[in-house]
Structure 1
C-alpha cells in the first residue's frame, strides 16, 4: 500500500534577493512546533496586552560615546559586560532623558556586547517556569576553544510576579557552579556573565545548565506558581569564547547555532541544479545533520552564509563546483573527497562534498555520515544524547539520574520535575500494560490534606497519589502505574508534580523563616520501569514519521521526494524536512527526487510544494479537500518580510520573549 505525506507550502511573494534569506513557511511552521516543545505560554495576571516592544541590541566593536539628541522614548540599553562576580548581577542601563529646556545635549552611551557561542535548541526550549526549573544544553567545543578564557553569558527576561529577593538564577558548566544572580528583569532584558574557571571546559561536549528558583511577590497559592517564568534570550546567551579556529571534519558538532538555536546550513548554488544534483545535495544535507547531532537544522539554497553561525555546504562533482571561491585550495580531485574550508571574509566555514563523478559524491556523503566525535566531559557526553529525548526500546529500568534529574530539597508549593522519553516509531499505544514509576523521597509534616503527587504524560493526567499523613512520610518505592495508552511514538513529555500547600500559605509571609522550611525531598534514584512494548508499523502515521521517518526507512523501493515546483523555497523546505527525518532515522534516507507524485505507483512519497502547485488527485488521496486546502493557504500566499536584525523569520521583541515565541516561528499573515 502506498504511503504518502503531503506538506503544502504558501506561494512565495518575495523577489529573488529576499528569497535567498527567507525560511519557507513550511519549515518555519515545523521549527515553531518543535522549539516551543509543546508547552503553551501561560499568561500572567500582572502583565496586560499592548503593542510589541522592540528589543534593541547594542552594536559590536568598541564602546562608542557620541553626542546627539536623546530621543523622547529611547529603548533600554543592555549592558555589554556584566560583572563576573557571582554576587552581583549586571546593572541595567536606563533610557536617555529628553533634552533639557535650554537645548543642552546629554552624551548617549552605546555599550558593546561580545559575540557568544550560542546554545542549541532542544526539546525544552528556553523558558524556566514555575518555582524550580532546569534547562540543560550540550555544547561542543574544539580543543582550542576549551583551552581559552571563557565566560557564561545569560540574557534573560522575567515575569513581573517574580520576587527578586527570593528568586535566583544559577549557571553551571559540567556540574561546576560558575555564578548566580537575583532574578530581576521584568521590563527589559538583562545580561549577566559568569567567569568559567580554567580546566572546567573540555574538548567535545560540555553540559551547560541553567537553574531557576522563583518565588511569587504576593501570592502563595499553587495557581500563582504558573505566573512565574524566566525567559532566556537565545540570541545573546551562551559561552563567550573565540570562534573555532581548529574546526575539522571530526568536530563538526562545534558548528555554531544562530539566534534561535537552530543551525543554518547554506547550500551553495552557482547555477540552477538538475534534479539528480539536487538529490545529491539533499543527501549531503542529511549526512551533515546526522553527524552534527543536530536538533534543529535550517537549510537554505543560495549565496554563502556570512557571520559566525552556520556552515556553507558545497556539493557536486569536480566539474560542477569548478570556479567556486576556495575550491582551488583543494588541489586535484581524483575520487571521493571531503574538505572543510576555513571562514574567510566574514563567510561561514564551507564543507565540500565532491568527487570525479556522481558515484564519488555519494561515496563522500557516506563518509561524511560516518564522521564525527562524541567525546567530551562526563556530564557533556551524558547530556548530548538527551537533547532530543532519552531513547527507550522497552523492557528496561531507568533511574531518573540517567535522564539528568538531580536530588533536591524543595521549600515551595509546587515542584515540577520533567523528563523527555523517545519511544520507538513503531510503538503501539494501548492498554495492554503499564509503565511503573517508583518514587523515592519524602514530605514534611504539616501539609494540607489536599497535598498530592500528580503525573502527567503529554499534557494528560496519568495518575495522582495523595500525601495523606499530617506527620509527614519518607518513601523509597512509591509505585505509580502509568497506562501505556497515554504514550505515543516519538517524543513523550512526563511531568511529575508535587502539590504541597500548608497552613502558612494562607498568611503568605514570604519573608518568615517558616517560608524557607523544606516541604519535599525528591531523590534521583526514583526510577521508571518500561515494560515490553508492542510494535507494529502503521502507515501513514505522522507520529511514526516524526519519530523515526517511517515509512521512508522501510526496505524495498526507494522513497520518493516529490517536488512539483523546483524553486528555491520548495528546495529549502524539502531539504530541511529531509534533514529532520534523517536525524529521526539516524541515517541518510535515500530519497529519489521526482517532479510528480505519479498515479498508482507503490512506495512511500513525501510531497513538498506550494498549495497552488499540489495536484488535486494527490490531495484527495490523503483524505483532504483540494478546494479547502487552496482556500486556507491562498490567504497566506504573500509573505511580508518583517524588518529587523533576524530577517523575515521574526524580529526578537520583548513581546515575543514574554509569550515564549521563537524567532523562527512566523507564518505569513493571512489576507
Structure 2
C-alpha cells in the first residue's frame, strides 16, 4: 500500500491589487509583503539602503484615495540629526521620516497623492540614510540598520469602477489585462449548435487566458449574457443576433470582431466574435488569439484572412537542441550595471518539457562584457541558473578589461523543464575602502552586451510520465495540439474552458486542434472532465496490471486527510462517502503511448468550484505525483504515486541506459557493485583453479 504525502509548502502568488469592477466602490487593504515575491521583512542596512515595491493600478478603476500605514524599527545607535527614511512614489519623494535612537519604534499613516498614480505598476521606494557619528564612519557598520515590518505595514486603496461608454477593440489591452484583477472572471455565451461550438469556446477561452498572462481565469458558459460579468459571444451572425445591438449586428461581414458595453451595466463589455459561416467565425477567433494582431481603435473589425500558424505569439521562446542564440533573441538589450548595490541581470528562456541531454554535456555561454578600472581584486560577477550558483567571473584587473567570447560552461543537468532563469549578480568593490577615505563608486561598472551567445547542447525528446509536476509547469503532454476532451456532461463545459485557458497560459501559446469527443480515441492525448459517476463509463482502463480509474478513486479515498475532522466529516471522507468536497486530478497511460488526464469530483457543481481553485498559482504549482486531491487551499492538498511509469519519445539502447542512469543512479551503482562482485568471484575461481593445476 502506497503512502500519500501531504503538501505543506509556503503560499506563493504574485498578487494584483485591484479587483475587477463588480461593485460600485471598493476598498482594498493588504500587507505590503503581498507585493513581494518572497514575503519577508525589509532590512535597510549600511549608510544607504534602498528597497522598491510595486503595486498595480487597473485601467478600469479610478483610485479615489491611497494610504500607506507604515511600521518600522531602527537601530539604537543612529545619529538623530543625520538619519532619515525617505519614501518616494514613482520617483517623487512624498515624505521624510527622522530616525531617532530615542524613539526606535515608528508607526504612522502616509497619504499617497493620487495624482502621482498611473495605470500600470507604481513604485513605492524606501530609502534609508543612516549614520552613527559626525566623524569618519564605516558605511557597512552592523549598527546601521532599519527594519520595516511588512506584515503590519499596509497599503490601502479606495477605488471606483469606470464606465465603458464607447469601448474600442484597441482598448482590449486595458480591459483584459493582469492589472485589472487578481482573479479574473469571464462569461462565454455560445448560443449556437452545442455539438460544434466547443472548439470555438476553447479558442475564445485561450485568447482570454493569454491576455491575462499569469492571472487565473474562472470561465462560466451559457447561451445568454449575465449582468455582472464581462462576456464573449461566439457564434454565427444569425445565432448571436438576439444578444447584441442592431448596430453591431449590421456590421458583421466576413470574420467579425466587435465590442460594446453591456446594455444594462456599462461597467462591463461584450466582445462579439462572429461571421456568416463556420470558417469566418474561426478566422475571427484566430485573429483574437494572435496577441500581435493590430486591433483598431474602432468598435468593430472584419477579418478576411488569418492563418492558424500566425497565432503563435512566441511569448515563451523554446530553445531547441544544438541551438545558438544571441541574448538579444531572449529579449535582452545591452545593459550597464553600476555601484555597490546593482540590480542583477536576469534572463528568462524556456526548454521543452521532454528535453533530455547526456549529463556530461554543457550549456555554453560566450560572453561579451566589459568592466571598469579601479575595482578591488575580489570583485566578481556571480552566475546563477535557476537560483543555484554555477560559476563566477573574477574582475581582478585594476585597469579594467573587455572580453569577447569569454566562455562559461554550465552543466546541462541544471536546466529544468519549462522556464529557466539565468542571473548575473554583480559584487563590485572599490579599490580604496579605508576608514576616513572618500569611497569612489562611480567606477563600479559592468556591461553585458546583447551579442553574447547561449549555446544549447545536442539533446533528444524523451521523458518519463505520469508527472503532474511537469504538467503543472509546462502543460506537457497536452500543449502540443490535437487534444481531445471527453466531458461527463454538457454542464462540465465551463470547467473544461477554465482548464484549457490555464493550459494556454503556462504554454505561452494557444493549443490548436482541441475537439470534444464522446469517447476517447486511442491515438490522441485526452482530457477527461466530469463527475465520478458520469466519467467512469467513458474512460478507458489503463493497460493490464494497472489500476483502473474506479479502483484509483477507491484507493485515494482511503488516504484522504482526516486530521482535525468531526465525525461527520470523517464519514463524508470515508471510502463509502466518495470524494466528498475534494477534487481529484490523475494522469495515466492511454493506448498507443498516449496520455489521459482525469479531472473529477463528486458532482459537477463541486468540480467546477474545485477547478476554479486549482487554476490559482498557489495550488497549481503544488501539483505532484500522478494523482493529487485538493480543496480550497494548499494545505488541503495531498498527492501520491499509484501508476507505473512509461516513457514518451525515442531513444536508442545506449541513450535509454544513460537516461535511466541519470534518473536512477542507485540502480546502476548496485549493478556495478554486482558486476564487481561477479568478476571477483570469477577471478577467485580462476586463481584457485590455476593453483590447483600447478600443485598437480
Q: Which runs of 5+ in 2 are unaligned?
A: 1-7, 44-48, 76-82, 98-104, 132-138, 297-311, 562-572, 574-578, 584-611, 615-630, 638-696
Deviations 1:33-90 (A, max 9, x none): 77489xxxxxxxxxxxxxxxxx9x9x97799xxxxxxxxxxx9999xxxxxxxxxxxx
2: CA distance, partners of 1:492 / 1:226 = 34
Once the two structures are TM-superposed, the CA of residue 560 in structure 1 deviates from its matched residue by: 1.0
Structure 2 matches for 1:257-406, cutoff 5 A?
257=177, 261=181, 264-269=184-189, 274=194, 276-290=196-210, 292=211, 294-296=213-215, 298-301=217-220, 311-318=230-237, 320-321=239-240, 323-324=242-243, 326=245, 329-331=248-250, 336-344=255-263, 345-355=265-275, 358=278, 360-370=280-290, 373=293, 392=319, 394-398=323-327, 402-403=331-332, 406=335
Alpha carbons 1:134, 1:209 under 8 Å: kept: no
Q: Using a 3 Å threshold, how does the CA distance of structure 1 residues 487 and 260 change in structure 2: closer, same or farther? A: farther
Which position in structure 1 is the counterpart of 2:112? 192
Matched, 1:591 2:514: yes
Q: Using a 3 Å threshold, how does the CA distance of structure 1 residues 625 and 463 change in structure 2: closer, same or farther? A: farther
Once the two structures are TM-superposed, the CA of residue 260 in structure 1 deviates from its matched residue by: 7.1
1: CA distance, partners of 2:452 / 2:528 = 39
Which position in structure 2 is the counterpart of 1:458? 386
Which entry has the higher C-alpha Rg, 1 or 2?
2
Q: Using a 3 Å threshold, how does the CA distance of structure 1 residues 480 and 140 change in structure 2: closer, same or farther? A: farther
Which position in structure 2 is the counterpart of 1:561? 485
Greater displacement, 571-580 / 342-351: 571-580
Matched, 1:605 2:529: no
Q: What is the TM-score of this pair, normalised by structure 1? A: 0.55
Alpha carbons 2:369, 2:449 under 8 Å: kept: yes
Q: Using a 3 Å threshold, how does the CA distance of structure 1 residues 287 and 526 change in structure 2: closer, same or farther? A: closer
Once the two structures are TM-superposed, the CA of residue 351 in structure 1 deviates from its matched residue by: 0.9
Q: Using a 3 Å threshold, how does the CA distance of structure 1 residues 62 and 212 change in structure 2: closer, same or farther? A: closer
2: CA distance, partners of 1:424 / 1:122 = 31
| SS of alignment partner, residue 173 of structure 2 | helix
Alpha carbons 2:375, 2:395 under 8 Å: kept: no
| SS of alignment partner, residue 488 of structure 1 | coil
Once the two structures are TM-superposed, the CA of residue 166 in structure 1 deviates from its matched residue by: 5.7
2: CA distance, partners of 1:402 / 1:196 = 30
Deviations 1:99-146 (A, max 9, x none): xxxxxxxxxxxxxxxxxxxxxx9997999988677889999999xx9x
Alpha carbons 2:189, 2:232 under 8 Å: kept: no
Once the two structures are TM-superposed, the CA of residue 590 in structure 1 deviates from its matched residue by: 1.8
Once the two structures are TM-superposed, the CA of residue 228 in structure 1 deviates from its matched residue by: 7.8
Deviations 1:228-277 (A, max 9, x none): 89899999599x99777554335532324467755735224588984543
Q: Using a 3 Å threshold, how does the CA distance of structure 1 residues 578 and 248 change in structure 2: closer, same or farther? A: same
1: CA distance, partners of 2:56 / 2:121 = 6
Alpha carbons 1:257, 1:263 under 8 Å: kept: no
Which position in structure 2 is the counterpart of 1:571? 494
Once the two structures are TM-superposed, the CA of residue 371 in structure 1 deviates from its matched residue by: 7.3
RMSD: 6.4
| SS of alignment partner, residue 366 of structure 1 | helix
Q: Using a 3 Å threshold, how does the CA distance of structure 1 residues 502 and 213 change in structure 2: closer, same or farther? A: farther
Q: What is the TM-score of this pair, normalised by structure 2? A: 0.53
Alpha carbons 2:367, 2:448 under 8 Å: kept: no
> How many residue pairs were aligned?
505
Once the two structures are TM-superposed, the CA of residue 603 in structure 1 deviates from its matched residue by: 1.4
2: CA distance, partners of 1:216 / 1:593 = 62
Report the structure, 1 or 2, having the larger helix content.
Answer: 2
Q: Which runs of 5+ in 1 are unaligned?
A: 1-28, 38-54, 64-74, 79-91, 93-120, 172-177, 377-384, 640-647, 651-664
Once the two structures are TM-superposed, the CA of residue 589 in structure 1 deviates from its matched residue by: 1.7
Report the structure, 1 or 2, having the larger strand content.
Answer: 2
Q: More relative contact order in 1 or in 2 (CA 8 Å, sep 6+)?
A: 1
Which position in structure 2 is the counterpart of 1:418? 346
Alpha carbons 1:281, 1:316 under 8 Å: kept: no
Which position in structure 1 is the counterpart of 2:633? 667
1: CA distance, partners of 2:140 / 2:232 = 54
Alpha carbons 2:479, 2:507 under 8 Å: kept: no
1: CA distance, partners of 2:411 / 2:158 = 39
Q: Using a 3 Å threshold, how does the CA distance of structure 1 residues 61 and 565 change in structure 2: closer, same or farther? A: closer
Q: Using a 3 Å threshold, how does the CA distance of structure 1 residues 446 and 252 change in structure 2: closer, same or farther? A: closer
2: CA distance, partners of 1:474 / 1:226 = 37
2: CA distance, partners of 1:211 / 1:405 = 26
Q: Using a 3 Å threshold, how does the CA distance of structure 1 residues 607 and 122 change in structure 2: closer, same or farther? A: farther
